[in-house]
A and B are shown apart, each in its own frame.
Chain A
Amino acid sequence: DAGVTQSPTHLIKTRGQQVTLRCSPKSGHDTVSWYQQALGQGPQFIFQYYEEEERQRGNFPDRFSGHQFPNYSSELNVNALLLGDSALYLCASSLGGSRTYEQYFGPGTRLTVT
């Protein structure tokens, strides 16, 4: 059973460009959350998708947007990239109705903005 997968593994973009990151949740999971982790910091919550809708959003600008597909996979889009967007982007999946709240994380996508 594959866990959470993310693509690509690494990505280098230029300031002002746009980027799309992809995530496939663990089999059977219907909820996907995205986190940004700057070097040396803990992950910061960006947003969460459940039933193809954004259910909750962290303190991130509108340049960060997402989408969830009917098969529960998800994309994170970042427009007008800034140097400060360089970070590890983590995807986590879980069961929306579960009260255990256990989230399974993928290995992340390392984004470098130059």
Chain B
Amino acid sequence: DAKTTQPNSMESNEEEPVHLPCNHSTISGTDYIHWYRQLPSQGPEYVIHGLTSNVNNRMASLAIAEDRKSSTLILHRATLRDAAVYYCILLTFQGAQKLVFGQGTRLTINP
């Protein structure tokens, strides 16, 4: 399983943008980049995914480097409810959709 590297923790202020980085230097051409987050006392929640192009949805944006060796999850205007552990995961379709979670980044939002 290809590995990702994320900072252990980050802190930001409410209503400010947050950029969560992820390094995946061993990514292969068929690996999709997925982001999940886990709010306190809940199961993980899908946030966004992409392959090569930048992606936007109602929750966040995903910016993917041109060489695909890194990506950034962008929360445009953080709220207190965005405080969670964010996981960056590489996923290759191999007949089973196994998610390999690392330690993730614990995001703290200050009011």
Contacts and interface: CB of A to CB of B under 8 A. Distances in A.
B93 A55 contact: no
Interface residues of A, number: 27
A105 interface: yes
B98 A104 contact: no
Interface string B87-107: 100010101111111111000
B21 interface: no
Q: Is the interface of B mostly helix, strand, loop or mixed?
A: loop
Contacts of A102: 46, 49
Given A42-B87, A101-B32, A101-B91, A33 B45 contact: no
A52 to B, nearest CB: 15
A90 B43 contact: yes
Nearest to B98: A45
Contact of A31 (B43, B91, B97): B97
Nearest to B97: A101
A45 B43 contact: no
A56 interface: yes
Contacts of A56: 95-96, 98
A109 to B, nearest CB: 10
Contacts of A104: 46
Contacts of B100: 45
A86 interface: no
Contacts of A41: 103
24 contacts: A31-B97, A33-B98, A33-B99, A35-B99, A42-B87, A42-B104, A43-B44, A44-B101, A45-B98, A45-B99, A48-B98, A56-B96, A58-B98, A90-B43, A90-B44, A92-B44, A101-B49, A101-B91, A101-B97, A102-B46, A105-B42, A105-B43, A105-B44, A107-B42
Interface of A: 4, 31, 33, 35, 41-45, 48, 50, 55-56, 58, 90, 92, 94, 99-108
Closest 4 CB pairs of A and B: A105-B43, A42-B101, A56-B96, A102-B46
